[in-house]
């Protein structure tokens, strides 16, 4: 399959609306016994096992080669959006709340999350394609992330620090993992700025980032789907870790 065909297929997938959930007309039996298992759950667990195995078996360098045509296309598109945005930003956030964990416990767990790529980072979302340390064109060592943005593989080189915050945090919230994501040529494309607060027994997270103001709404909305999934999974992992630590 050539690059043009891949690109056209990717565009077609992005533009398709999500289908509504339907009840299957099929019933399954084992030894004559009706099976009422949650097939979506079984499929999800199988997909997670398959993805973990593939991430463990495919080296980052080979994954980058496999995704090169997609990254080339998304680089060009995000470069255009960055120019059109002219340094202005729009929010791409979701809000989550959780019990059974405190802000202090979550932040302690999160501080080491990048040390466990296969146990924490990859499993949080199926379209986490690649995490690796790499040199940019300027020779700087940065965390390279390839994940979906708008349901298309997108590569960014990440740098962290409070100076990259494009806006003040929400009242009562503390910034988490503030940083910038750039293309390989240094184009500034996203600003990370998740935020956290403790409300009595409730942990609140305003999770997400800022993207250029010219980025289409469909891309923002698609990435909010990812944010909901990955941050829910990360909070669940942190809850489990905190519970185990309390009983140790």
pLDDT digits (tens, 9 = 90+) for 132-160: 988 877 788 899 999 999 999 999 999 99
**Nearest 10 degrees: Cα torsion 121, 124, 129, 131:** -10
Instruction: Give pLDDT, residue 136.
Output: 76
What is 36-247's CATH superfamily? START domain (3.30.530.20)
Percentage above 70 pLDDT, the chain = 91
- Residue 233 clears pLDDT 50, i.e. is over it: yes
Segment 49-61 shows an average pLDDT of 94
Residue 172, CB half-sphere, CA atoms under 13 Å: how many?
9
Instruction: Give pLDDT, residue 140.
Output: 82
Average pLDDT, the chain: 90
> Looking at 53-187, which runs of residues are DSSP E strands?
89-98, 128-135, 141-148, 153-160, 174-182
Q: Which of 135-139, 212-216, 240-244 has the lowest mean pLDDT?
A: 135-139
Instruction: Give pLDDT, residue 79.
Output: 98
Q: Which of 130-144, 185-199, 215-229 has the lowest mean pLDDT?
A: 130-144
Reported pTM: 0.85
């Amino acid at each position: 399959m050539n690059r043009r065909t891949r690109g056209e297929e990717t565009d077609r997938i992005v533009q398709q609306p999500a289908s509504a959930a339907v009840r299957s007309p099929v019933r399954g039996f084992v030894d004559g016994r009706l099976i009422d298992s949650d097939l979506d759950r079984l499929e999800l667990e199988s997909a997670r096992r398959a993805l973990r195995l593939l991430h463990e078996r495919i080296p980052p360098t080979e994954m980058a080669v496999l995704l090169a045509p997609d990254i080339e296309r998304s680089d060009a598109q995000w470069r255009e959006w960055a120019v059109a945005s002219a340094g202005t930003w729009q929010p791409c956030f979701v809000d989550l709340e959780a019990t059974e964990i405190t802000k202090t416990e979550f932040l302690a767990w999160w501080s080491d999350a990048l040390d466990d790529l296969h146990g924490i980072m990859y499993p949080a979302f199926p379209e986490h394609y690649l995490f690796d340390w790499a040199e940019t064109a300027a020779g700087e060592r940065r965390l390279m992330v390839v994940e979906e943005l708008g349901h298309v593989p997108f590569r960014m080189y990440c740098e962290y620090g409070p100076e990259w915050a494009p806006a003040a945090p929400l009242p009562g919230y503390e910034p988490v993992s503030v940083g910038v994501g750039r293309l390989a040529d240094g184009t500034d494309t996203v600003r990370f700025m998740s935020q956290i607060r403790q409300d009595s027994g409730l942990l609140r997270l305003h999770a997400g980032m800022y993207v250029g103001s010219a980025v289409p709404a469909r891309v923002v909305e698609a990435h909010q789907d990812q944010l909901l999934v990955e941050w829910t999974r990360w909070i669940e992992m942190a809850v489990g870790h905190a519970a185990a630590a309390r009983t140790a």
